[in-house]
C-alpha cells in the first residue's frame, strides 16, 4: 500500500508517524514544499513550540475551540493532552507545563520537536520529499494521482491532506490544500483570520505601546450576537492591542465584519480580580492612612502609573484630586470606569493571524476516522479543516490528535 501525505507540518508529521506505527508495511511519502519539516511548528509559541495544554479534562479542552469542538471530541479523547505529552517524552522530547497551563519542550526550542520526528522517520518506510511543490491532485479508479511542479506524478492508494490554512504564508501555509480538496469534490467554507491583534479607533492608547498587563478582561459580541468574555495578559501596541487574551477574543470574532465604518465595541475591565466591594474596602483603608494624597496614588496600587495618567487625561478619572475631597459615590463611579471601559476595534492586525478560521467542511469528514465521506481513501487533518482553537496549545493539540487518527487509515 502506498500512502501520500501532502504537508509536513504538525498534522502531517503525526499522520506519517501513525501510518508507520499502524501499517508498518505501507510505503509513505510525505511531501513538503519547504526545505525542512514543521516550519510553523518551529516558530509557534515564540519559537518555544506550545505543544499542547496542561488542562486535563477533555470537556474543558473542547471549550477552547470556537469552531469544531463537537467534531474534535473523538480525536481528542483518543489522544488527550496527557497522551500528547507522553508521546513526545517517548520520542525524546521532555516537556514542561508552565503556570498558565501551556506545555513546552523543556529545551524551549521548537526545533527539538521537528528533529525528533526526523530521527524517527530515518528507521521507517517514510520517505520525506522536501522542496516539493504539489500542483494538482486527481482521483481516478480508486487511485490518487499527485502531480508535482516538476510535472512528475506519483500514484497512491491512500492520501492524507495536511496542508494547513493560509495564515503565516511565509511558512508555506498558502491554502493550496483547499484547491486540491475542491478538485476532488470537497467544499471549503468561508475563511477568516483568527488569533490576530486589534487596531483601535482610540489613538490615545498608542501612547502605551510596549506596556503589558498580567490580567485584563475583554468582552465583545460576535457575529451570532453572543457575548464572549476572556481574561488574560495583554500588550499595548503602536496600533492597539495584542496578547493572549486578544488572540482568544479574535478567534470568536473571526467572521464578524470589522471596519472603520463598522467598528466592534470592546469592553475592557482593567481590574478583573477585584470586585467593587473589595476596592471599596481598599479605598477606606487608603483614605484613613493617606487622606491628603491624590486619588491617583490609590489607583497606582493596582495599575501602572502610565496607564492611570493616560486614562485620567482621556476619561476624566479625577485622579489629581485629594482623597478626602471625594465621596464614596464618586470613587465607585471612577472604579466602574476602570472596570468597564469601552473602545472600538476598527481593524485586525494584518499579517498577525496565526490560524485560519474555516476550511474543509466538517460535514464531509468522518470525525471518528478523519476519512472523507465523499472520496474513499482520502483523509484530512489539521488546520485545513473547518476547526480552530484559541491560543494556548489548542491548535497543535488538535493537529496531533487528528493526524494520529488519520494515520490509522480506518
pLDDT of residue 207: 92
Compute the residue count for the chain: 410
Residue partners of 35: CB distance under 8 A and separation at least 6: 130, 131
Nearest to 354 by CA among 203, 166, 190: 166
Residue partners of 305: CB distance under 8 A and separation at least 6: 296
pLDDT of residue 167: 55
pLDDT of residue 168: 47
User: Rounded to whole angstroms, how far apart are CA atoms 212 and 234?
Assistant: 6
pLDDT of residue 380: 98
Domain 2-192+353-406 has CATH 3.30.470.20: no
pLDDT of residue 297: 92
Could you say which architecture CATH assigns to the domain 196-267?
Beta Barrel (2.40)
pLDDT of residue 95: 97
Nearest to 407 by CA among 131, 146, 117, 178: 117
Indicate the helix (H) or strand (E) that contains 367.
none
Q: For the chain, give every domain's residue range.
A: 2-192+353-406, 196-267, 276-342
Provide DSSP, 252-268.
HTTTS---SSS-EEEEE
pLDDT of residue 169: 42
pLDDT in tens, the chain (410 residues): 999 999 999 999 999 999 999 999 999 999 999 999 999 899 888 889 999 999 999 999 999 999 999 999 999 999 999 999 999 999 999 999 999 899 999 999 999 999 999 999 999 999 999 999 999 999 999 999 999 988 899 999 999 999 987 754 444 445 688 999 999 999 999 888 888 899 999 988 889 999 999 999 999 987 767 888 999 999 999 999 999 899 999 988 888 889 999 899 999 999 999 998 999 899 899 888 888 889 889 999 999 999 999 998 888 888 888 888 988 888 888 898 899 999 999 999 865 557 888 999 999 999 999 999 999 999 999 999 999 999 899 999 999 999 999 999 98
User: Rounded to whole angstroms, how far apart are CA atoms 137 and 244?
Assistant: 38
Amino acid at each position: 500500500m502506498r500512502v501520500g501525505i501532502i504537508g509536513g507540518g504538525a498534522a502531517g508529521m503525526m499522520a506519517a508517524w501513525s501510518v508507520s506505527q499502524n501499517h508498518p508495511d505501507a510505503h509513505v511519502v510525505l511531501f513538503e514544499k519547504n526545505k525542512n519539516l514543521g516550519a510553523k511548528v518551529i516558530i509557534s509559541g515564540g519559537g518555544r513550540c506550545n505543544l499542547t495544554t496542561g488542562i486535563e479534562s477533555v470537556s474543558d479542552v473542547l471549550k477552547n475551540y470556537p469552531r469544531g469542538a463537537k467534531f474534535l471530541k473523538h480525536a481528542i479523547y483518543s489522544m488527550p493532552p496527557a497522551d500528547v505529552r507522553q508521546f513526545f517524552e517517548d520520542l525524546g522530547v521532555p516537556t514542561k507545563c508552565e503556570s498558565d497551563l501551556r506545555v513546552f519542550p523543556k529545551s524551549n526550542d521548537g526545533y527539538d520537536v521537528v528533529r525528533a520526528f526526523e530521527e524517527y522517520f530515518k528507521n521507517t518506510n517514510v520517505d520525506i520529499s522536501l522542496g516539493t511543490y504539489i500542483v494538482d491532485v486527481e482521483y481516478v479508479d480508486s487511485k490518487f494521482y499527485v502531480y508535482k511542479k516538476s510535472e512528475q506524478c506519483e500514484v497512491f492508494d491512500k492520501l492524507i491532506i495536511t496542508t494547513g490554512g493560509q495564515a503565516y504564508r511565509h511558512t508555506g501555509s498558502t491554502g493550496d490544500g483547499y484547491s486540491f480538496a475542491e478538485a476532488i469534490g470537497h467544499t471549503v467554507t468561508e475563511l477568516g483570520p483568527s488569533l490576530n491583534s486589534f487596531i483601535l479607533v482610540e489613538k490615545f492608547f498608542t501612547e502605551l505601546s510596549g506596556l503589558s498587563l498580567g490580567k485584563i478582561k475583554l468582552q465583545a459580541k460576535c457575529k451570532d450576537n453572543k457575548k464572549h468574555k476572556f481574561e488574560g495578559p495583554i500588550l499595548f501596541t503602536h496600533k492597539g492591542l495584542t496578547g493572549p487574551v486578544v488572540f482568544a477574543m479574535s478567534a470568536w470574532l473571526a467572521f464578524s465584519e470589522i471596519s472603520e465604518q463598522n467598528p466592534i465595541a470592546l469592553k475592557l475591565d482593567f481590574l478583573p480580580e477585584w470586585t467593587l466591594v473589595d476596592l471599596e474596602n481598599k479605598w477606606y483603608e487608603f483614605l484613613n492612612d493617606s487622606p491628603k494624597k491624590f486619588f491617583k496614588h490609590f489607583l497606582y496600587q493596582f495599575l501602572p502609573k502610565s496607564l492611570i495618567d493616560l486614562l485620567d487625561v482621556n476619561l476624566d478619572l479625577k485622579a489629581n484630586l485629594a482623597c478626602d475631597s471625594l465621596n464614596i459615590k464618586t470613587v465607585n463611579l471612577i472604579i466602574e470606569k476602570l472596570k468597564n471601559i469601552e473602545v472600538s476595534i476598527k481593524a485586525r492586525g494584518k499579517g498577525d493571524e496565526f490560524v485560519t478560521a474555516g476550511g474543509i467542511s466538517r460535514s464531509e469528514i468522518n470525525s471518528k476516522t478523519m476519512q472523507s465521506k465523499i472520496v474513499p481513501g482520502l483523509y484530512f487533518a489539521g488546520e485545513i479543516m473547518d476547526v480552530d482553537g484559541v491560543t494556548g496549545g489548542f491548535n497543535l493539540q488538535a493537529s496531533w490528535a487528528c493526524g494520529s487518527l488519520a494515520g490509522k487509515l480506518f
